Amino acid sequence: MNWNTISSAADIENIKKASNSQTVLIFKHSTRCSISSIAKTRLESDWNFDNITPYYLDLIAHRDLSAKIAEDFKVYHESPQIILIKNGEAFHDASHLDISVSEISDVTA
């Protein structure tokens, strides 16, 4: 799994544009949270998508960008959290131990 990092507001705008041609996943990760680490490991060990571009946000380092993502994509902020985006809009989000590759597969099938 090759994460693309989010470190600026420009990256969020690029995600919106990229989602017009391919589904994008944002993973909001708290580096201080064991549940977040478990969710990240589960994603990385089971990832099998060629048609989803994964992005990673270290929300401890970039709380402002985490808030912008919540606002721009109209989702309630949680951590850890995945947000699936297509055509510039979130169509699914999940948090904590609800984050799984099988769920992503189900909602993108």
Q: Which domains does the chain have, with CATH numbers?
A: 4-108 (3.40.30.10)
pLDDT > 90 in the chain, percent: 94
Q: What is the mean pLDDT of residues 71-97?
A: 95
User: What's this model's pTM, rounded to 2 decimal places?
Assistant: 0.95
**CA–CA separation, 48 and 98 (whole Å):** 18
Cβ atoms of residues 89 and 97 within 8 Å: no
Q: What residues form DSSP beta bridges with 21?
A: none
Residue 72: closest CA among 19, 1, 32, 4: 19
Q: Count other Cβ atoms within 10 Å, centred on residue 4.
A: 15
Question: What six digits make up the tokens of 90?
Answer: 């979130």
pLDDT at 71 over 90: yes
**CA–CA separation, 6 and 106 (whole Å):** 25
**CA–CA separation, 46 and 88 (whole Å):** 26
Q: How many residues does the chain have?
A: 109
